[in-house]
Amino acid sequence: MSVYDHTATNRDGSTKQLSDYQGKVLLVVNTATGCGFTPQYEDLERIYAAYRDRGFEILDFPCNQFAGQAPESDDEIHEFCTVKFGTEFPQFRKIEVNGEGADPIFAELATQMPFQGFGKGLKAAALKKLADANNKQFGDKAYIMWNFTKFLIDREGNLVARFEPTASMAEVEKAIEAQL
């Protein structure tokens, strides 16, 4: 299956065909408003503004499966992101990324490119403990380890990179530039 075979649900409940993004470089990310990584929205918007005219899109999927860090309604999440961070990239309805109700796009992307760790350092070690405790409930369907996991898709719809939330945004941006 290709990323283009999937659909997403817009905040208004309508369906968006991901094939509408064919030919663009995509960054698919699960997000949350109350996460320690929430400030990444600022970098995401900066990157989006810098590259969207070159055929780049960020597809934002809020998720509340990690310590309840996105409890708000879809409209409240959208308002928070646009007011606090000025986000303009597409933001879809809140989804699940793990378990039986996992959105198929995240299950597929994470199966194609499984979790390889959070990296090194105290932050990575602390996050691993939180993620392991949180994701026990999902067993073999714990596809995503924490909020702000990012998947980079090339212009042909191929998954080319996975970035855990601990990856530097400079590294993410460099990979996006390489695809553009």
User: Contact 53/47 with Cβ under 8 angstroms?
Assistant: no
Tokens of 161: 């990179």
Tokens of 91: 């933001």
Q: Which CATH superfamily is domain 3-179 in?
A: Glutaredoxin (3.40.30.10)
Question: Which residue would you say has higher pLDDT here, 1 or 126?
Answer: 126
pLDDT per residue as tens digits for the range 64-119: 999 999 999 999 999 999 999 999 999 999 999 999 999 999 999 999 999 999 99
pLDDT of residue 45: 98
Annotated active-site residue 35? The verdict is yes
- DSSP for residue 179: H
Is the pLDDT at 125 greater than 80? The verdict is: yes
Domain definitions of the chain by residue range: 3-179
C-alpha 66: how far from its chain's center? 13
Q: Which residue has the tokens 């990323």?
A: 3
Q: Report pTM.
A: 0.97
How many CB atoms neighbour CB 43 within 10 A? 15
User: What is the rounded average pLDDT of the residues 51-69?
Assistant: 97
Is the pLDDT at 23 greater than 80? The verdict is: yes
The residues, any chain, with a CB within 8 Å of residue 120's CB and separated by 6 or more, are: none
Annotated active-site residue in 8, 35, 70, 109: 35
Enumerate the H helices of the chain as residue ranges. Answer: 40-51, 74-85, 104-112, 122-135, 169-179
